[in-house]
Structure 1
Amino acid sequence: MELIKAKDYREMCKLAAEKMIKLVMEKPNAVLGLATGSTPLGTYGFLKQDYEQNGTSYQQVTTFNLDEYVGLDGSHPQSYRYFMNKNLFSGIDIQLDNTYVPSGQVENMEEECLNYESLLRTKGPIDLQLLGIGRNGHIGFNEPGTSFQTNTHVVELTESTREANKRFFDSIEEVPTHAITMGISSIMESNEILLLVSGESKAPIVRDLFEKEQTEEIPATVLKSHPNVTVIADEEALSLLTEKV
């Protein structure tokens, strides 16, 4: 894993956006894997700013999102489809028909998982997958203990993950208990992976990622076996590393 050290959150986001913009300029029909949550927000802001100022086009780009809450319609303000439309897609010239987010509101979730995997294989592979990391090491919504061999599946969210996400809801009771997520094996099929980590609260898991062996109890450690992973982390997130990698 290559480590790029950023001074702070803003620089981390800027570096990530520059990497994504470079790919889209070199390959106009690139397939991007996208993430939600607070970590990539700044990166999406820089992508929109670049589009406004420089006109980088996403007309031919295809995107796949990692996950979606089960039970939330795409129009729900806390759904990940809504998040992407609001924070990125509405600010660039991408065709919405080329943006894929798993559906959390279908009768047959197992069929939805298979359909999403089929789309990934038909439209993919993903050229660049953007990832964040949970405090417990989850990537996507692949919680500790998830097999490295999983494809897109439905997962029951841990209490720590629900607790971390409750700030987006009025109460913990409103936070969905399940999500549909791209599997670890699906993520690892991406040509390149870009992991963003920011803040002091993520320092312990960053230390574990670099200093512990691969284990399904820390899902992100699977990234050690991918040939093309870049980690962009700010000073706070790197503060507990015993050796500066």
Structure 2
Amino acid sequence: MKISIYNNYDKMSRAAADLVAEQLVNKPDSLICFPSGESPTGMLQHVISYANAGKIKLDKCHFIGLDEWVGMDETNEGSCKHYLYTNFFNKLNINDSQITLFNAKADDLKAECERINNFIAKKGGLDMMIVGIGMNGHLGLNEPGTPFNLYAHLSELDPVTVTVGQKYFKQETRLTQGITLGLQHLTEAKIPVLIASGSKKASIINEALNGQISTDVPASILQNLPAARILLDEDAASELEHLA
């Protein structure tokens, strides 16, 4: 893995957008996974700017969502789907045929996981998979204890995720399960990317990148991925004991 540290959130976000732009120039029909949450917003804004300026074209690529809260769709403002449409897809009028997201309200969620797995496989795998990191070290909704070799799956949400997840909702919301791409997807992605910012992430970043590789800290899997790109702002990197 390669760790890059930037002065602030905006510079980190621009660097992440540059990776996306480079990928799209090299392979216009790329399959790219975007996360939701606080971390990717700046990156998405820069990608939008690049597209509007004609620096990149998005007409041949395909986007896939990282995860979703079970039982939610775009009508829930805290849903991943609402976030991606509001902050990215709608701003560029991305065609729905280019977008694949989890249906977290499907009657058969295991079948939904298989639909996503099959879609990725038929596309030849993920060209780029971008993730953030949770306060408990999760990637997507791969919670502590999740085996590294899982593809898309249902997850029982960790109490830390349930608590932190409330920030995405205007009122307290019951969160129990998630549906998510798996860590095996990250392992197989041609370019796995982690973005993180803020001092609140500093401790878990150090544990993930310098600690023992263990399912107790899902993000520690990045130490096993030579192609992984780790993009941090100075605050998120402030507790790194050494550059792994």
Q: What CA distance in whole angstroms lies between the structure 1 residues aligned with 2:195 and 2:23?
A: 17
Q: What CA distance in whole angstroms lies between the structure 2 residues aligned with 1:175 and 1:32?
A: 30
Matched, 1:9 2:21: no
Q: What CA distance in whole angstroms lies between the structure 1 residues aligned with 2:93 and 2:9?
A: 26
What residue number does 2:27 align with? 27
Cα deviation 1:117-173 (Å, max 9, x = unaligned)? 11110123111111101111100100000111111111111111111111121333x
Q: What CA distance in whole angstroms lies between the structure 2 residues aligned with 1:131 and 1:89?
A: 18
3-state SS in 1 of match to 2:29: coil
What residue number does 1:184 align with? 183
Q: What CA distance in whole angstroms lies between the structure 2 residues aligned with 1:57 and 1:175?
A: 39
3-state SS in 2 of match to 1:136: coil
How far apart are residue 54 of structure 1 and its match? Answer: 2.4
In structure 2, the CA distance between the partners of 1:74 and 1:93, relative to structure 1 (3 Å rule), is closer
In structure 2, the CA distance between the partners of 1:189 and 1:128, relative to structure 1 (3 Å rule), is same
Matched, 1:209 2:193: no
3-state SS in 1 of match to 2:53: helix
What residue number does 2:117 align with? 117
- TM-score, scaled relative to structure 1: 0.95
In structure 2, the CA distance between the partners of 1:83 and 1:3, relative to structure 1 (3 Å rule), is same
User: Which residues in structure 2 correspond to 1:75-154 (within 5 Å)?
Assistant: 75-154=75-154
Matched, 1:45 2:55: no
3-state SS in 2 of match to 1:20: helix
Q: What CA distance in whole angstroms lies between the structure 2 residues aligned with 1:197 and 1:225?
A: 19
Q: What CA distance in whole angstroms lies between the structure 2 residues aligned with 1:171 and 1:94?
A: 30
Contact 1:60–1:94 (CA under 8 A) maintained in structure 2 = no
Contact 1:199–1:234 (CA under 8 A) maintained in structure 2 = yes
Q: What CA distance in whole angstroms lies between the structure 1 residues aligned with 2:170 and 2:231?
A: 32
Contact 1:58–1:93 (CA under 8 A) maintained in structure 2 = no
How far apart are residue 73 of structure 1 and its match? Answer: 2.2
Q: What CA distance in whole angstroms lies between the structure 1 residues aligned with 2:243 and 2:139?
A: 23
- TM-score, scaled relative to structure 2: 0.96
Unaligned runs of 5+ in 2: none
What residue number does 1:72 align with? 72
Amino acid at match of 2:185: S
3-state SS in 1 of match to 2:11: helix
How far apart are residue 244 of structure 1 and its match? Answer: 4.3
How far apart are residue 242 of structure 1 and its match? Answer: 2.1
Amino acid at match of 1:237: A
What residue number does 2:234 align with? 235
Cα deviation 1:170-204 (Å, max 9, x = unaligned)? 333x1421110111112211111111010000000
- Provide the alpha-carbon RMSD of the alignment: 1.3
Q: What CA distance in whole angstroms lies between the structure 2 residues aligned with 1:81 and 1:122?
A: 23
**Identical residues among aligned pairs (%):** 26
Unaligned runs of 5+ in 1: none
Q: What CA distance in whole angstroms lies between the structure 1 residues aligned with 2:25 and 2:241?
A: 38
Q: Which moved more, 1:31-40 or 1:162-171?
A: 162-171
3-state SS in 1 of match to 2:33: strand
What residue number does 1:226 align with? 225
